[in-house]
Amino acid sequence: MIKLAPSILAADFNVLGKQIKTVEEAGVPYLHIDVMDGNFVPNISFGIPVISSIREKSNLIFDVHLMVNEPERLLEDFKKAGADIITVHAEACTHLHNTIHKIKKLGLKAGVSLNPATGLNVLDYIINDIDMVLIMSVNPGFGGQAFIPSSLDKIRDLKEKAQKAGANIDIEVDGGITPDNVADVLEAGANVIVSGTSIFEGDIAANINRYYEVFRKF
């Protein structure tokens, strides 16, 4: 089942609640929430108070992408704020195995994200412990960047790796995805599509429909 995860990083924060309602009414299952600490990535986005506030008004599955160093310090706080899925970066965790198990113990789904230059080998001994892998198809930190083409090979390799390991994981891809290149991403094996700019710029409902037109072919 293919899932669309609009990234609110690209939303108009002046009318954030209204825009979340629009994506919810368009029938998307996930809301992708990018938390940046200005340390792991060279940008600061928003954090716990914003998530708590939008949680009161939305029933979407909150897919929280933590671009922060040593996120294990903050897992409980993000759970309390309303996260359903917490994804941490392999590069940001000294004790990745421990961090994943802490997320699972909180009763949440656990994802591991990999920067474009990080190999899949970091997943070797944890792939059966996690629910999702998030392949970054841009260098994290900013919306509106161009999709890195080598991500497609990485998605294919990950799909094969998961099959070999008998791991039933979601493969999420994040960065530079548009209705024009999403077919390539799906063909490579992804099933969760993050999209910021190409959903929130212009007519949100129409943009989502353009994605759904492509999804119908898969």
Residue among 12, 34, 124, 153 flagged as catalytic: 34
The answer to whether 144 is annotated as binding is: yes
Which does residue 111 bind out of ligand DX5, Zn ion, none, counting CB within 5 to 8 angstroms by kind? Answer: none
Binding-site member from 47, 111, 189, 196 for ligand DX5 (CB under 6 A):
196
162 conformational bin, left if phi > 0, alpha if psi -120 to 50, beta if neither: alpha
Binding-site member from 60, 71, 174, 185 for ligand DX5 (CB under 6 A):
174
SS3 of 41-90: the string is CCCECCCHHHHHHHHCCCCCEEEEEEECCCHHHCHHHHHHHCCCEEEEEH
Evaluate whether 92 touches 68 at the Cβ level (below 8 Å).
Answer: yes
Q: Does 175 bind ligand DX5 (CB under 6 A)?
A: yes
What whole-number distance in Å separates Cα of residue 139 and Cα of residue 129? 25
Q: Does 174 bind Zn ion (CB under 5 A)?
A: yes
Enumerate residues 28-47 that contact ligand DX5 by CB under 6 A.
32, 34
Evaluate whether 142 touches 45 at the Cβ level (below 8 Å).
Answer: no
Smaller CB distance to Zn ion: residue 34 or 37?
Answer: 34
What whole-number distance in Å separates Cα of residue 11 and Cα of residue 17? 10
Enumerate residues 55-114 that contact ligand DX5 by CB under 6 A.
65
H or E stretch at 192: strand 192-195
- Binding segment for ligand DX5 among 54-62, 79-87, 150-158, 172-180 (CB under 6 A)? 172-180
Question: For this structure, is 63 an active site residue?
Answer: no
Amino acid at 154: K
Q: Does 179 bind ligand DX5 (CB under 6 A)?
A: no
Q: Measured from the CB of residue 174, what is the shortest distance to Zn ion in angstroms?
A: 4
Question: For this structure, is 34 an active site residue?
Answer: yes
Helix, coil or strand: residue 105: helix
Residue recorded with tokens 């008998």: 166
Amino acid at 158: L
- Give the residues lining the site for ligand DX5 (CB under 6 A): 7, 9-10, 32, 34, 65, 138, 140-141, 143-145, 174-177, 194-198
Indicate which residues carry an active-site annotation: 34, 174
- Binding-site positions for substrate read 7, 65, 141-144, 174-176, 196-197
